[in-house]
Amino acid sequence: MSIGNSPEDERPFSDVSGVSEEARPSVGRALRQARIAAGRTVDDISRATRVRIAIVHAIEADDFAPCGGDVYARGHIRTLARAVHLDPAPLVAQYDAEHGGRPAPTPAAPLFEAERIRPERRGPNWTAAMVAAIVAVIGFVGFTAFKGGGSGNDAKSQVAEGTTRTPTQASSPTPKKDKPAAPTAAPSDSAIAAAPQDKVTVQVSAPNGRSWISAKDHNGRMLFDGLLKKGESKTFQDNTKINLILGDAGAIQLYVNGKKIQDDFRPGAVERLTYTKGDPEVG
């Protein structure tokens, strides 16, 4: 029999409106007393919220370490409060006050920043312009020599004429303008599924429900920290490894380096995972 079924020694708490802040019950005790007042066991709450029994017990004992972090702790508090008909906002505010306040949100890093290819800017073709200018100067000098030498010297006349005709055809070449390379579009999911061997690529999707997820690169830089709604997906890529925390692993489907991860994650389970370029070995 699970702990929390038919608690004989538990008593509903009395009305605490108007009680001073010092006498106010802790977050865990408030949730426990509200559950008892509602006539529900820990098993009932676990089945209704999909929060594991061990985590419900820990939260009611004001032990938030099994939640996996402040983000998940706040989410569990809201879920449990709604299940026992409590307003979650005061409990979350009380939790923040007792645990150093709510941190500022970390902006998600742009995906595949290293994969973007910017078109190279190319200047005018100065080499062709310089060649044309030199030819024009040579032609002008030859034409001047031909005019000054008279018609007596046939050889010089022929050379001058030949030299004069040459720049007529090449005196005004049009420099060719190289077209800039078209910018490469952001990689699609199908391209990501190809999984380059020199990187680690992790695609996280939520086909069965929603879950809080956290993703960091090998330097510990936060790539994403937030709620992945049902039907949404996120893809992360790094040169070495990707560190993941899944708030509800049972709602998540993973593709690592183009391969589907076959792990049978339990609903409500918090999973901490690390994937590298060689993963997965099977699957």
Q: In whole angstroms, how large is the CA radius of gyration of the chain?
A: 37
Q: How many residues does the chain have?
A: 283
Give the containing element (helix H, strand E) for 254.
Answer: strand 253-256
Peptide bond into 25 cis (omega under 30): no
Which is more confidently placed, 248 or 207?
207
Range ranked top by mean pLDDT from 48-62, 205-219, 263-277: 48-62
- Model confidence at 188, pLDDT cuts 50, 70, 90, reads very low
Q: Is 71 left (phi over 0), alpha (psi -120 to 50) or beta?
A: alpha
Cβ neighbors of 220 (< 8 A, separation 6 or more) are 243
Per-residue pLDDT for 106 more than 80?
Answer: no
Which structure tokens are listed for 177? 């303008």
Calculate mean pLDDT across residues 179-195.
49
Calculate mean pLDDT across residues 8-37.
68
Mean pLDDT of the chain: 75
Question: Given this model, what pLDDT does residue 232 score?
Answer: 93
- Model confidence at 209, pLDDT cuts 50, 70, 90, reads confident
Q: What is the pLDDT of residues 118-155, one digit of tens each?
A: 555 566 677 888 888 898 888 888 777 766 655 445 54
- Percent of the chain exceeding pLDDT 70 equals 65
Query: Is-contact 238 201, C-beta < 8 A?
Result: no
Which pTM was predicted?
0.34
Question: Given this model, what pLDDT does residue 254 score?
Answer: 84
How many CA within 13 A on the CB side of residue 11?
3
Per-residue pLDDT for 279 more than 90?
Answer: no
In this structure, of 10-19, 48-57, 130-139, the range with the lowest mean pLDDT score is 10-19
- Model confidence at 213, pLDDT cuts 50, 70, 90, reads very high
Per-residue pLDDT for 78 more than 90?
Answer: yes
Q: How many helices and strands, by DSSP H and E, does the chain display?
A: 8, 8
Question: Given this model, what pLDDT does residue 114 score?
Answer: 42
Rounded to whole angstroms, the Cα distance separating 211 from 35 reads: 24
